[in-house]
Amino acid sequence: MTSAPIDESIIDVVEPRKDTLGLPEPALARLKRSGRPLYLDDVYKIRSKEWRHDDAGARADKSKSALLSAATKVTDLTTHIGTEIEGLQLKDLTDQQKDELALLIAERSVVFFRNQDISPQQQLALGKYYGEVEVHPQVPQVPGNLGVTVIWPDLQATERTVNFRQPGGASRWHSDLVHELQPAGITHLHNDTVPPVGGDTLWASGYSAYEKLSPDFRKIIDGKLAVYRSAHPYLDRRNPEGGPKHIERVHPLVRVDPSTGWKALWVNRTFTDRISDAILSYLFSVYEGNVDIQVRFKWTPGTSALWDNRITIHNASWDYGGKYPRHGTRVTSLAEKPYYDAAAPTRRQALGLLDEGELLDYGQQGAEGLTQM
């Protein structure tokens, strides 16, 4: 099987390995692997021009009646983040239900569906409905289905020693593809093979992280920009001896989700850079250290998680130590260019959930106006 380039003008330089790495039967039944480009300019030119993103959640019926009435059970896993839906198959959703699901994801940050019978092709079709599907230049794709990324730790190159004190995988808080000109919106991860114990994934709410900040501190970061870099480095074609470099883009620290119109903190320890270290360190700690704005999910085989990268960070626990198979496929739909709107409310402002102290912080008149939106 030869590698499939993302762009015909790009020549893949890394051939896929010939062995199967002991892939479990469910994984072998779903995919094979492909290669990746080497140079920085090749990756930049993949998506270098802005396009119009039509957000599915923004056009959805706010009641979400078509989606919720078809489910047998809907459970909010925590107060601020995470919902599980039972009785629906993602592959069978109508367009109206897909729109309403996008809105629910934007409201609850991450939504889970167990016992999903969904092929990589059907997963890709749903991703294309939600936006332009990202084809990752450094991660293997399912042949014939570019945009369906293989998530298989044994395939991922590691740049450091992996052990208990320095876990492997994606076991650091991050948000996907922040270096894109128009970064990730909805990501859909379907895991067909999971460890018997461990391997949970955690998500944290950017809406709630922003609201944890005092109104005065918010004023410091509102409208400010930072550098967001890629996870993977590439060589500079003009100076390959200069060492690997990362893709870099400039985006706002606080952004607004177009589906809800709510403000969210949008930083992550792994990929955000180039502002005050003290400010970044504080923002990271607020996002990562408040367990009441996080959800921890225990996977079972055949489960799909769909989350909004614009308003979350996530962390894949490596507590199983790589001793058991963990495999899935991921489709990420790119969204709009990040933007900040000073007039946008916070989540709890919009929902009328502010407590007495917060009402005093905002000023009674302003808060009352927002809770009537």
Query: What does the H/E/C string look like for 234-288?
Result: EECCCCHHHCEEEEEEEEECEEECCCCCCEEECCCCCCEECCCHHHHHHHHHHHH
Q: Is residue 18 part of a domain?
A: no
* CATH number for the domain that contains residue 84: 3.60.130.10
Q: Is residue 185 part of a domain?
A: yes
Residues marked active site are found at 174, 176, 314, 330
Q: Is residue 69 part of a domain?
A: yes
Residue 368: per-residue pLDDT: 44
CB 153 within 8 A of CB 140: no
**Total of domains in the chain:** 1
Rg (alpha carbons) of the chain, rounded to whole number: 20
Strands 110-113, 83-86: pairing is parallel
Residue 372: per-residue pLDDT: 38
Q: Is residue 367 part of a domain?
A: no
CA 124 vs. chain centroid, Å, equals 16
The secondary structure element, H or E, covering residue 331 is strand 327-334
Two tokens, residue 300: 């079972």
Residue 29: per-residue pLDDT: 54
Two tokens, residue 202: 């955690």
> 207: domain range?
25-342
Residues 6 or more apart whose Cβ sits within 8 Å of residue 186: 102, 105, 127, 130, 131, 306, 307, 308, 309, 332, 333, 335
Q: Is residue 259 part of a domain?
A: yes
Residue 172: per-residue pLDDT: 76
Q: Is residue 356 part of a domain?
A: no
Q: Is residue 238 part of a domain?
A: yes
Q: Is residue 170 part of a domain?
A: yes
Residue 149: per-residue pLDDT: 81
Q: Which mean pLDDT values do the consecutive 10-residue runs of the chain (373 residues) have?
A: 36 36 55 52 74 95 97 97 98 98 98 96 96 79 80 59 66 78 94 91 96 94 88 72 77 95 91 83 92 96 97 89 84 95 95 79 51 40
CA 214 vs. chain centroid, Å, equals 26
